[in-house]
């Protein structure tokens, strides 16, 4: 995907959800596209930085539910691998993260294969 970083839509949405749950703004405030050091950065590096903010705040990730809406490519064959990688990055048990993949039934920018949309809900708990 085209983007200032590597364009990983799911990780960007996950970063935004975590930052939002902490009331710490959004990914653009922490990693602005006006800063050349983020040009082409691997999104997993941003996620690790956001996870550090979660840890420093005294919160723990309780649960993540994500949906990726993309007409192409078909994501079902990749969901298990995506889940494993995200769980490893976030140090989560697999039963704490769910990934769903949907199409947009040919409608709009997503349906016309011009965009991918992601929605992520996170639940945090304070303390251990």
Q: Are strands 97-102 and 117-126 parallel, antiparallel or unpaired?
A: unpaired
Residue-level pLDDT at 55: 97
**Which pTM was predicted?**
0.90
Bond from prior residue into 56 cis (ω within 30 degrees of 0): no
Residue-level pLDDT at 2: 52
Q: Are strands 59-69 and 117-126 parallel, antiparallel or unpaired?
A: antiparallel
> Are 94 and 83 spatial neighbours (Cβ–Cβ below 8 Å)?
yes
Residue-level pLDDT at 5: 57
Count of other CB atoms within 10 angstroms of residue 100:
13
Nearest residue to 45 (alpha-carbon basis) of 37, 34, 56, 55: 37
User: How far apart (Å, rounded) are the C-alpha atoms in residues 19 and 51?
Assistant: 9
Residue-level pLDDT at 46: 95
pLDDT tens string, the chain, 128 residues long: the values are: 555 555 689 999 999 999 999 999 999 999 998 998 888 889 999 999 999 999 999 999 999 999 999 988 889 999 999 999 999 999 999 999 999 999 987 777 777 777 888 999 999 999 86
- 95 secondary structure, DSSP code: G
Residue-level pLDDT at 4: 54
């Amino acid at each position: 995907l085209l983007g200032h970083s590597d364009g990983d839509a799911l990780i960007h949405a996950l970063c935004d959800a975590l930052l939002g749950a902490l009331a710490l703004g959004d990914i653009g405030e922490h990693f602005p596209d006006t800063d050349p050091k983020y040009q082409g950065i691997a999104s997993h590096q941003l996620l690790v930085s956001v996870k550090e903010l979660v840890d420093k705040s005294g919160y723990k990730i309780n649960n993540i539910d994500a949906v990726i809406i993309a007409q192409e490519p078909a994501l079902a064959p990749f969901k298990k691998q995506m889940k494993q990688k995200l769980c490893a990055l976030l140090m989560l048990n697999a039963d704490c993260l769910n990934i769903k993949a949907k199409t947009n039934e040919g409608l709009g920018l997503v349906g016309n294969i011009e965009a991918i949309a992601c929605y992520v809900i996170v639940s945090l708990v304070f303390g251990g």
